Amino acid sequence: MHFDFSTLTAAERYKLMASAITPRPIAWLTTLSADGVRNAAPYSFFNMMSREPPLVAIGMMGRPDGTYQDSARNVLDTREFVINLVAEHDVQAMNMTCIDAPPEFDELTFADITVEPSVEVAPPRIASAPVSMECRVVETFQRGASIVVLGEVIHFHIADELVDPERLHVDALAMNLVARMHGAGWYTRSTDLFQLQRPTFADLARS
């Protein structure tokens, strides 16, 4: 079965893509408005894009009236943000920050989330997150009311117990991260793993 996206509505295209492109990691974004109002919101249109420079991308959908949501507005205005990864112990607090609140509403206070100051950017980081990445905007791409933000990670925080500081080996399972699935509030755990060794052409030639 195939679908001509030019014949579908935006909601229909979103339903197909968001249900098929899974699981998606979650960027629990903390930002500050130009006036210093704190904001937190999760975004699952997110991933790592490059190692050199260390780039991440976040897709932010606009409101039905064509305006930007608070996080997008803050990122555009200040060019700074923090990506906090979401462990299972934070899912209820993360879900509370999805609330459709006005710009002056502080989701961090509402969800009783403890934060710590960042090192190089103004927005705070979420203290309970296993990983937090301080970012500055490199580029933005806007189409309609949606925006894709390309950010450079300039400072990386990870809980001490999750990383070997000598080898930089991260205990991925111990992070206990959750990821976004299809609609109606579905998430998944990252606990059912398997491993494959990448083939090399040299090995193929010897066989």
Tell me the pLDDT band of 206, cut-offs 50, 70 and 90.
Answer: confident
By residue count, the chain amounts to 207
CA distance 70 to 148: 14
Domains for the chain: give ranges and CATH numbers. 5-206 (2.30.110.10)
**pLDDT value of position 63:** 79
pLDDT range class, residue 47, cuts 50, 70, 90:
very high
Contacts of 69 (CB under 8 A, 6+ apart): 41, 60, 61, 62, 63
Residue in the block written with tokens 């920050």: 97
pLDDT digits (tens, 9 = 90+) for 50-59: 999 999 999 9
CA 61 to chain CA mean position, Å: 13
pLDDT 10s digits, 102-147: 888 999 999 999 999 999 999 999 999 999 999 999 999 998 888 9
Residues 74 and 150: their CA atoms lie apart, in Å, by 14
CA atoms within 13 A on the CB side of 116: 16
What predicted TM-score, i.e. pTM, was given to this entire model?
Answer: 0.93
- Mean pLDDT for all residues in the chain: 94
